[in-house]
Amino acid sequence: MSPHTHISPALGISDRAFRLYCHLVLESNGGWVTVQDAADACNLTNHQAREPLSELREAGMAESRRVYEMGAHGRKTWHVHFRLPQETTSEAAA
């Protein structure tokens, strides 16, 4: 473990948030992941994943953005994307 890795924020998060964080670390390669993709990967519904992802954002373990893009039904809608904070991904690459 590098001296820059801090696990203390992970000690206070829920099990679902930890599962979603592991997905972001292992599968996202630092890129943006939709709530639905993260939920599917962790065998959760979209609504079950939203609160734990917000929990990660509040703990500083993830960042989010809202994107107005085409939805599955051919209409534009808001989608929320999450990713690891940039300093985390740059430390992992080093």
Would you state the pLDDT for residue 12?
79
At residue 40, what are phi and psi to the nearest 5 degrees? -60, -40
pLDDT in tens, 31-59: 999 999 999 999 999 999 999 999 999 98
Q: Which of 7-11, 28-32, 90-94 is the least confident region?
A: 90-94
pLDDT exceeds cutoff 70 at 89: no
Cα–Cα–Cα angle for 88, 60, 79, rounded to 5 degrees? 95
Instruction: Tell me the pTM.
Output: 0.77
